[in-house]
């Protein structure tokens, strides 16, 4: 049986992609951003997912105002990069997982979520930048197949936060009814607070962002009640991308283990946010494996584990 083992929330700021593509990652301004993802890359290399589902929004690369699907699921075998502005980024073609994608489409649509099935689609920085931040910058191919899910947050009306959260639950049900043993990671990308144009251009609301991350971890249902207008008022016109993180969160357990969080302002004119949440069962399994403990042994709560890890060097010094 396939299962979703973890969720990743990540900004997808296009300037991060440009910094990567133009060899600026060691410049002090960008180093402070990229170094925040070092631990995330280590984590990803350890869990080695078989498939990634990436929830993002298209920025007029695959869709134009002519056609804007609310939820578009990429069912193709591959998705070439393309982008607004300077054109496609020099990243590998994204390989899909057509069998799992078709299975998700069937399960979710029969569950009354009207996805658009997309058999030909290009993917932009909304998808490729978070892949870079978590997988690095591979030359030839990404380490696992990717199923893109493009969600409309650019033309009114986008779906509600509650609809996004419930779609996440339907995706989880779909994944868990797929017969092959696959470990799946789901990404929610976009945000955090930012506004690109108008009199409030440059708006960043760190207090609101932090509360969003706190609730995403501990009380996601609270976030499902936030109306569109509140995202736009508090997090800026483009801050509404944060709603995409609710699809990722809906696909996880009600209670999760927060593995890592990173927040920095600004990158370009955007607040950069990142979080890694693991389903408890998977987290416990990894902890037992790491410590050579038998099946059934319950892990210490994360806070206690961190306190014990901090004490270890002190105890070692004392023992000498
Ligand atoms: Fe975006």
Q: pLDDT digits over 54-68, tens only?
A: 999 999 999 999 999
In angstroms, rounded to a whole number, what is the distance separating the alpha carbons of residues 10 and 270?
Answer: 12
Distance between Cα 148 and ligand 1 center (Å) = 14
H/E stretch holding 31 reads helix 28-34
Distance between Cα 131 and ligand 1 center (Å) = 14
For the beta carbon of residue 282, count every other beta carbon within 10 angstroms. Answer: 18
User: Which residue among the candidates 12, 125, 274, 282 is catalytic per the annotation?
Assistant: 125
pLDDT band at 215 (very low <50, low <70, confident <90, very high): very high
Question: Encoding tokens for residue 66?
Answer: 């002519």
Beta-bridge partners for 146: 52
pTM, two decimal places: 0.92
pLDDT in tens, 277-316: 999 888 888 778 878 888 777 776 666 777 777 777 666 6
Secondary structure (3-state) at 114? coil
**pLDDT reported for residue 84:** 84
Distance between Cα 243 and ligand 1 center (Å) = 12
Average pLDDT, stretch 146-169? 97
For residue 131, pLDDT beyond 80: yes
Distance between Cα 203 and ligand 1 center (Å) = 15
Our answer to whether residue 228 is catalytic in this structure is no
Distance between Cα 57 and ligand 1 center (Å) = 6
For residue 260, pLDDT beyond 70: yes
For the beta carbon of residue 176, count every other beta carbon within 10 angstroms. Answer: 13
User: Which residue among the candidates 12, 97, 194, 274 is catalytic per the annotation?
Assistant: 194
Our answer to whether residue 194 is catalytic in this structure is yes
pLDDT in tens, 71-120: 999 999 999 999 987 789 999 999 999 999 999 999 999 999 999 999 99
């Amino acid at each position: 049986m396939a299962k979703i083992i973890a969720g990743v929330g990540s900004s997808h700021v296009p300037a991060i992609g440009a910094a990567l593509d133009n060899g600026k990652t060691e410049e002090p301004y960008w180093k402070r951003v990229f170094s925040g993802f070092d631990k995330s890359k280590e984590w990803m290399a350890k869990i080695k997912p078989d498939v990634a589902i990436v929830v993002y929004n298209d920025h007029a690369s695959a869709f134009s105002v002519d056609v804007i699907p609310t939820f578009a699921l990429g069912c193709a075998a591959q998705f070439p990069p393309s982008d607004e502005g300077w054109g496609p980024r020099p990243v590998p073609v994204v390989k899909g997982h057509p069998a799992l994608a078709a299975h998700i489409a069937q399960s979710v649509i029969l569950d009354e979520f009207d996805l658009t099935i997309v058999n030909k689609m290009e993917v932009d920085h909304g998808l490729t930048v978070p892949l870079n931040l978590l997988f690095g910058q591979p030359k030839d191919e990404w380490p696992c197949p990717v199923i893109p899910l493009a969600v409309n947050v650019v033309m009114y009306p986008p779906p509600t936060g509650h609809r996004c959260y419930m779609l996440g639950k339907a995706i989880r049900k779909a994944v868990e009814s797929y017969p092959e043993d696959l470990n799946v990671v789901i990404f929610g990308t976009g945000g955090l607070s930012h506004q690109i144009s108008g009199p409030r251009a440059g708006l960043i609301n760190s207090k609101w962002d932090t509360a969003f991350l706190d609730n995403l971890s501990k009380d996601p249902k609270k976030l499902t009640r936030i109306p569109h207008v509140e995202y736009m008022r508090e997090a800026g016109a483009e801050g509404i991308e944060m709603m995409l993180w609710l699809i990722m969160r809906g696909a996880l357990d009600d209670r999760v283990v927060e593995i890592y969080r990173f927040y920095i302002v600004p990158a370009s004119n955007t607040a950069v946010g990142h979080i890694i949440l693991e389903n408890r069962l998977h987290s416990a399994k990894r902890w037992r494996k790491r410590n050579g403990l038998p099946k059934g042994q319950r892990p210490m709560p994360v806070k206690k584990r961190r306190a014990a890890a901090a004490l270890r060097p002190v105890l070692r010094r004392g023992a000498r």
